[in-house]
Chains A and B, each alone.
Chain A
Amino acid sequence: MILALEYHRSPARYLATRTATGTKLGGRMAGLIAGNMAPLRLTNKAEPRRPGDDWTRLKPLLSGICGSDLGLLNGRNSPYLTPMISMPFTPGHEIVAETMDELPGLPKGSRVVMDPVLSCGPRGVEPCMWCATGRQSRCDHVTGGSVSAGLQTGFCADTGGGWSRQLVAHASQLHRVPDELSNERAVLVEPIACAVHSVRRVHVPAGASVLLIGAGTVGLFTLLALREFTQAGPIYVVAKHGHQRARAKELGATEVFEPKRAPRALRRATGGSLQHPEIGDEFLLGGADIAFECTGGAAGLSTALRLVRAGGTVVVSGMPNSGVDLTPLWYRELNLVGAYASDHGGPGALGDDVPNAAEEKVRADGRGGDFAEAISLAAGAPLDGYVDAVYPLSRWRDAIGHAFAAGRLGTVKVAFDPGQQ
């Protein structure tokens, strides 16, 4: 038996939380409410079983709490994803762990990070057209094969998840962590890989102006990836909290705006005119070339759509949680681009001959897959202090509460140390 946090959705609770956190006060108290109402429980349960020989058991060293986890806990995630989830499951997909079984080329006891996507490879099925070309995050088979439905580890009943003392992972999901990389940095690799992926989803021309909405984990890492992989010109960041401002500056933001000021400030920076609709938020005729929505909120997406220039591009990096007015998309002829998880390939540049394999493939542009790049970024970037709140599983209510209020509390990433008592 192992100690694990288990998500057992009850529709009534799901809706109740959603209503409670939908108000202004509820939003501010989301941590408290989620802590008390979340369909989560700490249990002793059977260890997850290895579905095959190319799987290993993992002992998590640190497991991060992601925005998508929080969305799940306060009932704000879209029911759209329910077919790709199997119940009951243990959340946790940002993991640095130690392997407990021998695998070819990966001795037992190796320190690894995990690509959580449960694509054709782990599922032991014939690769779909996406997996065949190294684009696992688009896999069409996330409900089939040898493990239960689940878009990722952390949403799948059979694999277990990071918020526990033990889970299982397929060899193709694992990437060895260099000895020099601390656990605190390694646990950031998965979200960094997602950021690398999102930046690779669009062509960012040299000198292009970029707007980042949000300066939490997703926003900051997107900024990091933009400065690493593109020749973007000015990058403007919309940040709510003071510490985010300082961190964004450190990672190369040109200017950081408070949300309330963003339309005016961006207009000053990029030209154009500010428009005030009779109802609803201000928007620009003019604005940034490309925007990345990194908050996972409807307000953030709406801001992005309103502040990119005509013909510009909005990349949705945060998991969106509700609808927005798409009129600007239509009227300004915008491109709306989704960016989910990470892969081995890239933005449509790879041929069909790239196999699906555990080892990193080199992309057509000569760079590594998203995870490989993320590992080197995690080692080199100024990320000290990004994980400054680590909780044992037993204090999960505090951990979740802290994660909900992370921005306000000056924290970037909250994590569990499942081994801790």
Chain B
Amino acid sequence: MSNLAGKVAIVTGAARGIGQAIALRLAADGADLALADLKTEWLDDTAAKVRALGRRAECFAVDVASSESVNAGVAAIVAAFGQVDILVNNAGITRDTLILRMTDADWDAVLDINLKGVFLMTRAVAKPMMRARGGAIVNVASVVGVTGNAGQANYTASKGGVIALTKTTAKELGSRNIRANAVAPGYIHTAMTEKLPEELRAQMVKLVPLARPGEPEDVANVVAFLAGPDAAYVNGQTIHVCGGMVM
């Protein structure tokens, strides 16, 4: 498939996990990749794999929680590629604990990266996308942003916020042919979930009608759909990629 040929895509948190799978899938569909993560060295593996698919990859050190870093990063990306067509806001962290034990720092760190980061990146690409008279933004939320989840006050609030921000972005920028959508993954097999206790993981699989954790590629496939021309009339939506865990 090459329905993204000639497109330039930014993926945040592209070093590993779901972000890496998204970058590789967009490259397989023909896009060139601006890979962003906290340190450029962490992106070497993803960049090598994108190049092995015959696409261009450039690595950028961006802390999505910092407006200076985001603005400088997006300016460097526009300078390197001349355009931005697709933005995938994937960078995210967890700091799980019960509300009673959650510190201000736990709350702020998660909200700054998961929610403010999406806002800062969206604001930074809005102008270049308007200049190009079109674009697609795909935000990585989570099903727990819809359902809530004990032990994740900060994370669920951030992901619920991402879903609402996706809708506002869709409304504000829709007239400029810029679409914004979200994916809400369920339980996906990555480093983020690897650190959960074994029994909790077994319990989570029991909640999934498809009876398996998702793979990063399962999420990447839906992101590629939302970023591409087949989703030309899909705007402001959140697609759950959770094996039916949340309906």
A is bound by B: no
Interface residues of B (CB under 8 A from A): none
Interface residues of A (CB under 8 A from B): none
